[in-house]
Structure 1
Amino acid sequence: MLRYSVTFGLWLCTAVLSNPLFGHGTSQHLEFDHTTPQGLVEIPWQRQHIAKVVTAGYPDSHGLASFTDRQAPELQEIEGQQCIKSNFLSLDIDDKFAFDIDEEIQIKLLIDRKDSKYLFYAYDRAGKATAFETLSATEHSGNKPRLHWIDISLEQARFANRGMQGTDLSLTTRATLYPEGHFGPVESATFTLCDIQLLREHKPTSLPPTHKITLDFIDPETQQPTPVRVGLYDASGKSVLPNNQVLPLSFYSDKPHLHFLRSLIPPSQPWPHKNRYFFYSDGSYSASLPAGDYQLVISKGPLYRFGLYTLSVGEKKPSHHRIALSPWRSPTQQGWYSGDVHIHMSRQPSDNQVISQLLQAEDIHVSNLLEMTNLGGQHFQQYAYGDEGEYRDGHYTITPGSEGPRTAQRGHTLALNIEQPYRDDDQYFLYHRFLKDYQQQGALTGYAHLGSKEFNASWGLALDAPFGLVDFVEIMQNGALRTAFWYERLNLGERIAPAAGSDFPYFDQPGAVRNYVKIEETFTPNKWFKGLQQGQTFITNGPLLSFSANGHPIGSTLTPKQYQTGLLIKASSEQNPDLDSLETLELVYCGQVIKRMQARGDNTYHLNLSSDIASLSSGWLAIRIRGKHSAMAHSAPIYLADKFNRSWCPKQVDSTVKTMQQRLRAMAQLKIKPERELEYWQNGDIHGDFDRQKPALTSRIALAERYYHSLLTLFNQLYKKH
């Protein structure tokens, strides 16, 4: 047995003292890279068996992402040690020391007790997509040394360079991962690392002989290979490292071949293997593998059953496998086409075919690839917009759009199917200028992340929706369905469609959530966008649904004569058994559940509702679906108009208007918090920009206040007199 260990001493002292960046008691602040959405920076910190150390303004590695109180890293000298103070660090273990192993690795971390109380660490582990644990250190006091060694043991360490920028181990603080005060008193969001030691008990092994296999994934309708998502695992559960035949999915600035379904925040997306790493194939894949049995998982979005297979690889085993997919349902036969309204990938014309195949592997018919702006620049650029930027492959389309303006002060906006990006940094806080321009282009405009509480989107919505500048709101994302703010707008009689966006790479893989839009006759992207704007849509992460009122479908408006004598409601939902089972089907009227169908038993995959509803006043109706674990879906409304052609909800108008007025007053008192911006290091003088634009914003708020006052006055006049 050979033993590798890290010991320092004279070598370390020499390295610190000879570093030209450091003298006694000095420190150096590093800057985030303005050219990347993450703000990547490599830290000049050398240790044995550490190939590189990286951090970022918005780091995302091994399933951990840092958001709260982020700060640029700083190099410090503490008690003769060269230390790094940071929110988040990712370390690349030298491949010569360990690469693609499955062993227990002992690590010692030398940390500063004054700045490092609660830590998380995550690492590249064999057999799992994410592996993270917590560390704690006692506080520094007069009788305790400031620098303190902490021992951690990494079980089944793999170190196959699958983290951010090809790293293997990540460290961050509890306070960075969670909102301020989440665990009580505010903690330090930074930690200080001064040294690291690694110990490996290395068992020499010889590489076994390999055998070539070829896999073709067959569409049963065309009998041709079709793009799919693939999980391939050996007998121990390790994911097989794929070769260059797989489709590279851009993850921020990286292009990894292996990806994973996030599983840190339950309920996680379903996957029929405990190892959640996967890759994308264009329909065929060849590899050379050691002899043995392998588990193969195939998926192609929620409308296909999972393919689960055991492959036996060996000299006398079959080397070519044609594997047919098993469709579950085909809603396109009824005119329903899927789309993801929120995907981020940079794109040049040469990227179109690969990106299209990636999105076809998730069965997304309309993929909205959005540039992303802030006060300092833009990221995820598209090479062209309008017809020139659109790419089509049969019934699959890539369409360019924009996420911006986007600030933590008043929300993130989306614009779909744009002709040209609109840019005016001198008016960046005046969202209505951007939204008006996009609507004049024929684009659809909306608010992202509604209800997630990070970016004050409810304030921006209260300001812009009254003027018809909001066509849709993104209310399904990151394993959550958040309806409260959308319901408020519907209660005021506004016609706003629900939308679902993965926000890849920030949250889930493309298509994790999606809109289905009803299209009559032949599919075209423009018909899809028109159907979304008209509310002929439902959002889902799996369940399908249907819904009608007196025979009128989703998105319809019924006149008093069509509904006041009663309504026959017909609704249904069905769920792919591989993903979840159904729990409830609810009929929602003006935000309240008025009918509920409850599943009987644990394996319910169909729910139906057929009910006569007594006379209702004006308002809106929709269907909401919940599964036992992660499944969820929601229809766009069917509107019930009063004799004034308004679909407002009389019992909610007064209180909702007062809520909107309160939000506008809060917005008028807005205090800029630059650190809440995702790319805060890129925004320059955000205080000065806001101060210069505040008078115009204040005028716009006053205009919205007059609108709400007039709306409430009109409502009282109409309903008190009639």
Structure 2
Amino acid sequence: MRQNKLKASSHFTPVELNNCYNKKIKELTNQDCSERVLENKEHLLSGEDVLWGIPFQLGAEEDKCDVVVLNDTEASVSFVQPIHEKYLIFLHAVDYKSSPASADGIIHPMMGNPRLGEVVCEYILEYSDGSSHSVPIRRRFQINEFQRSWGENSFECVSHAKPHAIHTTTDSFKLGEMPEKDWGGSQFRLVGPGERSIMHHWLYALENPFPEKNLISIRMVPRDGVVFLFGITRSHLETNPLRWESRRKTKFSVPEGGKLNRFGVYTAIELDLGAVISITPLRNYDHTNWDNSYTNQQPNVSTTEMIIEYTAHPDACVYYGEQREHTCYVKHLENEQSPVFLSLTYQFRKVTVRVVDQKTNKPVPSKIHIHGPLGEYLAPINRHRIPNPYWFEDYSTDYVNGNHFWTYIDGEAEYKLPIGELFIEVTKGFEIKPIRSKYQVSPETSEIIIQLEHCLPWRAKGWVTADTHVHFLSPQTALLEGAAEGVNVINLLASQWGEMFSSVGDFDGRTTLGSRENGGDGEYLVRVGTENRQPILGHISLIGYEGRMILPLSSDGPTEAALGDPLETTITEWARRCREQHGISILPHLPNPRAEGAASIILGEIDGVEMCSWGNLYDGISSYSLSDWYRYLNCGYQVPAVGGTDKMSADTAVGTIRTYALIKEQFTYQSWMDAVRKGLTFVTYGPLLDLFVNGYGMGSQIDLPKNGGTLDILWEAATATIPVTKIELVINGETKEVKTVDPTQQNYSGSWSVKMERSGWLALRIRGQYPGRPEVITAHSSPVMVIVDNQRIINAADALTILDQIEGCTAYISTLATKAEESIYKKLLMDLTSAHRALHHRMHHAGIHHHHNVVNDHHHH
């Protein structure tokens, strides 16, 4: 992506200036120019060079002058053969000159710095018929200073280094390259004209007003300032050589044997009078079945065809091949005269795309994807054309699903769309039918209206959705993305990563963005909480709490806390403080870090365990996470399930996995927290469900007599996204009933009757499968607990694993953790000891025989 300094356009011929040069750069003194120039004279150009694709022959002979300095006397250049070219391109610059200020600091007249419009010299074109034409050379018009203030730009000349596209810092590292910019600057994906030059040399294309005459010489007359002329090049081009045309695209066929980089991109392509903006593999979508294929389906990425985006002069030349041995002129490319290139230069229309509710016709926030006939992604005017998927980087309102790009809109977006056939995909959560349709843009098209159908009634029945775990978004962006994804509650979590802190300025311990009391409509809410983290003992999400931020955000050193930070608190203590401040505590991305959360659950300080998508759209709910959760349920700890994404980059959509919570009163953030506490929840990647056991819903406890009893189970499921394949009844972690269903259907229901003779729990689990992908767990209810004869379930094998986990935490604190003061150290161990004893006592009470560690050995009483 770096600019090519070797390829020179054949449309130019350098002018010989050796007999015109009057100074040697290395011998310049303060009699010739300012100290600022002298301090940087080693950065002045000489020798052969290619600037903006234009060749120059600059003075370079060791013992001869190599620059024209116009100060007090004129200089001139005579041509051996008369010149008839339309353009003369000058490489020149002017020395510094400042405007004096009055005693009060005010400059009058205010000409700026450099002094705008001041004539520094004249270039007088002299013809063989005795006529001449004078061109005044003015600061910031045809010439500028070697260094200039920010914003004091030039109007008719450009800095000598042409603009070019670059990789982001992360892409450069992945390619094994040295980044061209630091992280922030690389997000521009470009380097501007002369951006990193120490001494700017300015290119000015002077148009010869009489190319039909014999131009025999140019006389250069100084006026006000010291001018440096380094070189002149002439050209027959019909338009300004420094004026490139707007962005265009072409399809390129990779030559046989062409090498692709690790991103699957062929990069051996350059332009002389222009720049390559991007090269991306062609994306082959199944356009024939576009309307009937499933949402988010990935395209096949070509290894033989690339889409090249570029900007160039119409007479630019493309060079390609490992040695850039092949050429094609842009004009031929655009006239489709090349077997390697196929022009994608469309006519464009400004089009407003509106996504509306089918019933009300009101705009609704949504997620949208549009691409053209060759799979080229088309972004709204105010969105990234190449979204950045990397961690904590340029965080736009986009979603990167592999090679399939999306963006979020508030219901309306402005596009520049090519005339012809387009392919559009729109989604909004799990209860609205996704749209995948083809659209024709005509020369008259000004608006595209897309109607969304709300086909599943879970929200109408009181269910609201939430993502319990989002990072790095601004609250307002989180509100937009939540609304576009149909996620009613976004929990944006401030946190700490070593010496880095995120969203801490967004936390105030009271504001729920989007609520009615804060000016919203109350349907989509954002609340900033915290994810407090320790590298060994674990993480905990503290959600919805009030008052001061619970600190420290991270503890116990790298990588969660800073190097050298001591262990100052436990997960359990953080959870307890969150409860005291009226929030709820969630163990995120269960089970890892798999440690002290076990003690927190036993002590009753946890309100939910989080099934996490980790940004993966197709893996479904992790059976490993479920296995860990089932351990606690099997020991009688009725902790509900919630869903969170741990979104930390654009490659994860909020609500990829989400919590559904049943609210039986007015929906507020508080009522949502109350529903989570009660366990009125299920977790899903798409399918929706409901479950009743003897008439009781999720989160309930059913008491049975000593001999147990029969349970009548009613269930309902539906999907608008992932096809459902199986409905399963889980009892005490084991699959007891399975109903295989038709994946082409949308709604399902059924019933089972089971006998429960011992205490335990029940839950509904749903499996689903996209075509061509493995079957995965797509939804899971929170449990219904069954208590027989007033005895909670306790499974010996699971209880022992929990005890081992607590003992491991105790061992870590006692041996390796960075110690704080002694009083804190002892307090840390108290929670672990209390939890261990509580479960240990239950095991003894239940008559479970087990092996004791030396630390916990005791006598039976």
Name the CA distance, whole Å, in 2 between partners of 1:706 and 1:414. Answer: 25
2:542 equivalent to 1:415: yes
Name the CA distance, whole Å, in 2 between partners of 1:199 and 1:546. Answer: 66
Name the CA distance, whole Å, in 1 between partners of 2:760 and 2:612. Answer: 22
Partner of residue 356, structure 1 = 479
Rate the CA distance shift 1:362–1:702 in 2: closer, same or farther, 3 A. same
Instruction: Give the letter aligned to residue 387 of structure 1.
Output: R
2:647 equivalent to 1:486: no
TM-score by length of 2: 0.57
Deviation at 1:335, TM superposition (A): 0.8
2:283 equivalent to 1:127: yes
Partner of residue 12, structure 1 = none
Q: 5 Å matches for 1:255-274?
A: 255-256=395-396, 258-262=398-402
Task: Please point out which of 699, 703, 709 is paired with 1:555.
Answer: 699
Query: Helix, strand or coil for the counterpart of 1:378?
Result: strand
Name the CA distance, whole Å, in 1 between partners of 2:255 and 2:470. Answer: 39
Structure 1 contact 6–48 (Cα < 8 Å) conserved: no
Query: Helix, strand or coil for the counterpart of 1:386?
Result: coil
Deviation at 1:283, TM superposition (A): 1.1
Partner of residue 456, structure 1 = 593
Query: Helix, strand or coil for the counterpart of 1:446?
Result: strand
Deviation at 1:500, TM superposition (A): 0.6
Rate the CA distance shift 1:604–1:287 in 2: closer, same or farther, 3 A. closer
Query: Helix, strand or coil for the counterpart of 1:360?
Result: helix
Rate the CA distance shift 1:377–1:613 in 2: closer, same or farther, 3 A. same
Query: Helix, strand or coil for the counterpart of 2:511?
Result: helix
Name the CA distance, whole Å, in 2 between partners of 1:614 and 1:663. Answer: 33
2:767 equivalent to 1:626: yes
Name the CA distance, whole Å, in 2 between partners of 1:512 and 1:422. Answer: 28
Deviation at 1:216, TM superposition (A): 1.7
2:440 equivalent to 1:312: yes
Deviation at 1:382, TM superposition (A): 4.8
Rate the CA distance shift 1:635–1:524 in 2: closer, same or farther, 3 A. same
Moved more, 354-363 or 509-518: 354-363
Deviation at 1:484, TM superposition (A): 1.0
Partner of residue 281, structure 1 = 409
Percent identity for Structure 1 against Structure 2: 19
Q: CA RMSD in A?
A: 4.5
Name the CA distance, whole Å, in 2 between partners of 1:522 and 1:201. Answer: 68
Name the CA distance, whole Å, in 2 between partners of 1:131 and 1:321. Answer: 24
Task: Please point out which of 631, 638, 641 is paired with 2:787.
Answer: 641
Query: Helix, strand or coil for the counterpart of 2:673?
Result: helix
Query: Helix, strand or coil for the counterpart of 2:486?
Result: coil
2:709 equivalent to 1:570: no
Partner of residue 490, structure 2 = 367
Q: 5 Å matches for 1:523-562?
A: 523-561=667-705
Structure 1 contact 563–640 (Cα < 8 Å) conserved: no
Partner of residue 300, structure 1 = 428
- Residues 344-398 of structure 1 show CA distances to partners (whole Å, capped at 9, x for unaligned) of 1343xxx63x542322111111111111224545213352433335432324333
Name the CA distance, whole Å, in 2 between partners of 1:202 and 1:705. Answer: 75
Query: Helix, strand or coil for the counterpart of 1:463?
Result: helix
Task: Please point out which of 821, 828, 832 is paired with 1:701.
Answer: 832
Partner of residue 681, structure 1 = none
Name the CA distance, whole Å, in 1 between partners of 2:487 and 2:648. Answer: 16
Name the CA distance, whole Å, in 2 between partners of 1:380 and 1:689. Answer: 28
Structure 1 contact 126–158 (Cα < 8 Å) conserved: no
Deviation at 1:526, TM superposition (A): 0.9
Rate the CA distance shift 1:710–1:374 in 2: closer, same or farther, 3 A. farther
Q: Which consecutive residues of structure 1, in runs of 5 or more, have no partner in the other structure?
A: 9-17, 20-46, 67-72, 76-81, 111-118, 134-151, 162-195, 263-274, 674-685
Deviation at 1:533, TM superposition (A): 1.0
Instruction: Please say which structure displays the higher CA radius of gyration.
Output: 2
Structure 2 contact 757–788 (Cα < 8 Å) conserved: no
Rate the CA distance shift 1:106–1:380 in 2: closer, same or farther, 3 A. farther
Count of matched residue pairs: 560
Structure 2 contact 596–805 (Cα < 8 Å) conserved: no
Instruction: Give the letter aligned to residue 717 of structure 2.
Output: S
Name the CA distance, whole Å, in 1 between partners of 2:588 and 2:609. Answer: 6
Q: Which consecutive residues of structure 2, in runs of 5 or more, have no partner in the other structure?
A: 8-41, 44-160, 194-243, 266-279, 285-295, 312-321, 335-344, 556-565, 771-775, 850-861
Task: Please point out which of 580, 593, 608 is paired with 1:440.
Answer: 580
Query: Helix, strand or coil for the counterpart of 2:506?
Result: coil
Name the CA distance, whole Å, in 2 between partners of 1:443 and 1:5. Answer: 58
Between Structure 1 and Structure 2, which shows a larger proportion of helix residues? 1
Partner of residue 113, structure 1 = none
- Residues 495-542 of structure 1 show CA distances to partners (whole Å, capped at 9, x for unaligned) of 211011111125621011111111113222211110011000111111
Instruction: Give the letter aligned to residue 710 of structure 1.
Output: H
Partner of residue 268, structure 1 = none
Task: Please point out which of 636, 641, 659 is paired with 1:498.
Answer: 641
2:613 equivalent to 1:613: no
Name the CA distance, whole Å, in 2 between partners of 1:108 and 1:373. Answer: 48
Deviation at 1:211, TM superposition (A): 2.1
Structure 2 contact 478–492 (Cα < 8 Å) conserved: no
Q: 5 Å matches for 1:132-147?
A: none
Instruction: Give the letter aligned to residue 551 of structure 1.
Output: G
Structure 1 contact 369–398 (Cα < 8 Å) conserved: no
2:843 equivalent to 1:712: yes
Q: 5 Å matches for 1:82-121?
A: 102-103=251-252, 120-121=262-263
Name the CA distance, whole Å, in 1 between partners of 2:506 and 2:585. Answer: 21
Rate the CA distance shift 1:443–1:158 in 2: closer, same or farther, 3 A. farther
Instruction: Give the letter aligned to residue 391 of structure 1.
Output: G
Rate the CA distance shift 1:159–1:659 in 2: closer, same or farther, 3 A. farther
Instruction: Give the letter aligned to residue 242 of structure 1.
Output: P
Name the CA distance, whole Å, in 1 between partners of 2:786 and 2:282. Answer: 56
Rate the CA distance shift 1:687–1:103 in 2: closer, same or farther, 3 A. farther
2:570 equivalent to 1:430: yes
Rate the CA distance shift 1:53–1:313 in 2: closer, same or farther, 3 A. closer
Partner of residue 453, structure 2 = 326
Instruction: Give the letter aligned to residue 469 of structure 1.
Output: E
Deviation at 1:557, TM superposition (A): 0.9
Q: 5 Å matches for 1:360-399?
A: 360-374=483-497, 376-392=499-515, 393-399=520-526
TM-score by length of 1: 0.68
Structure 2 contact 456–718 (Cα < 8 Å) conserved: no
Deviation at 1:431, TM superposition (A): 2.0
Moved more, 545-554 or 699-708: 699-708
Query: Helix, strand or coil for the counterpart of 2:496?
Result: strand
Instruction: Give the letter aligned to residue 256 of structure 1.
Output: S
Deviation at 1:655, TM superposition (A): 1.3
Query: Helix, strand or coil for the counterpart of 1:449?
Result: coil
Name the CA distance, whole Å, in 2 between partners of 1:633 and 1:235. Answer: 36
Name the CA distance, whole Å, in 2 between partners of 1:496 and 1:198. Answer: 64
Deviation at 1:663, TM superposition (A): 1.9
2:604 equivalent to 1:474: no
Structure 2 contact 762–783 (Cα < 8 Å) conserved: yes
Q: Which has the higher contact order (CA 8 A, sep 6+)?
A: 1
- Residues 589-623 of structure 1 show CA distances to partners (whole Å, capped at 9, x for unaligned) of 11111111122x55344443312212331111100
Structure 1 contact 214–285 (Cα < 8 Å) conserved: yes
Structure 1 contact 622–637 (Cα < 8 Å) conserved: yes
2:782 equivalent to 1:659: no
Instruction: Give the letter aligned to residue 713 of structure 1.
Output: H
Instruction: Give the letter aligned to residue 598 of structure 2.
Output: A
Instruction: Give the letter aligned to residue 512 of structure 1.
Output: T
2:287 equivalent to 1:156: no
Name the CA distance, whole Å, in 1 between partners of 2:756 and 2:329. Answer: 77
Query: Helix, strand or coil for the counterpart of 1:566?
Result: strand
Query: Helix, strand or coil for the counterpart of 1:323?
Result: strand
Query: Helix, strand or coil for the counterpart of 2:439?
Result: strand
Partner of residue 236, structure 2 = none
Instruction: Give the letter aligned to residue 837 of structure 2.
Output: R
Name the CA distance, whole Å, in 1 between partners of 2:384 and 2:177. Answer: 38
Structure 1 contact 246–281 (Cα < 8 Å) conserved: no
Deviation at 1:491, TM superposition (A): 1.1
Rate the CA distance shift 1:414–1:389 in 2: closer, same or farther, 3 A. same
Partner of residue 209, structure 1 = 347
- Residues 385-430 of structure 1 show CA distances to partners (whole Å, capped at 9, x for unaligned) of 3333543232433333434322331222111112132113554452
Deviation at 1:437, TM superposition (A): 0.8
